[in-house]
Amino acid sequence: YLLKLKELELNSSFCGSLLDDAKQIAKLTLRDTLLEQDALQTLTKKPNIRSLVLLDKSFDESQNEITLKKDEFLWLNLFVVDCSAITKIVFNSGSAPRLQKIVWSSFTSLSGIDKLPRLKELEFKGDQVPDEVREAIQNHTNKPSLKHNGPETQD
């Protein structure tokens, strides 16, 4: 059954071996999985992942930075990060070359978006878009659009 699975949402512990058979997964949503760096490395090599959504507690708090290297997430085109444990995401040259849209929250900083050749859109959830992101957008070849959603308020 896993061979044909295209979308998967995990809401508890992450089992990397589960994905060994699920070669067709295109959309992966993680919540409460407390993913560790080695499990993330496994995901970066999955050829069909087009959409990765990291929600609350998807990432282990001892691992607060994601650094994507050359040839990782080759087909990813949507990356959503709404996990307070992730404080920094770094895109190195050659990583996520097809990434078109990033959605992220105020507790996460982005670095290296100028190295994403197909980036078209950024969506920020928080008070103020960091200056370094605004500057990177201005210097980006594609001039990606920026959508700014203010912080969520409780009534």
Q: Using one digit for the tens of pLDDT, what is the confidence trace for 56-82?
A: 888 877 778 899 999 999 999 999 999
What does the longest C-alpha to C-alpha distance in the chain come to?
46
Q: Is the pLDDT of residue 15 over 80?
A: no
pLDDT of residue 142: 92
pLDDT of residue 118: 97
- pTM over 0.85, yes/no: yes
pLDDT confidence band for 5 (50 / 70 / 90): low
Sole residue written with tokens 């992942």: 49
Q: How many angstroms separate the CA atoms of 89 and 110, rounded?
A: 5
Instruction: Report how far apart, in Å, the C-alpha atoms of 44 and of each of 28, 49, 74, 117, 126 are.
Output: 12, 8, 8, 18, 27
Q: How many angstroms separate the CA atoms of 85 and 59, rounded?
A: 6
Mean pLDDT for the chain overall: 84
pLDDT confidence band for 8 (50 / 70 / 90): low
pLDDT, tens only, 24-45: 778 888 888 887 777 788 888 8
Question: Which letter does DSSP use for residue 150 in this model?
Answer: P
Q: Is the pLDDT of residue 1 over 50?
A: no
Q: Is the pLDDT of residue 136 over 80?
A: yes
Q: How many angstroms separate the CA atoms of 33 and 152, rounded?
A: 24
Q: Which residue from 36, 37, 35, 5 is spatially nearest to 20, judged by alpha carbons?
A: 5
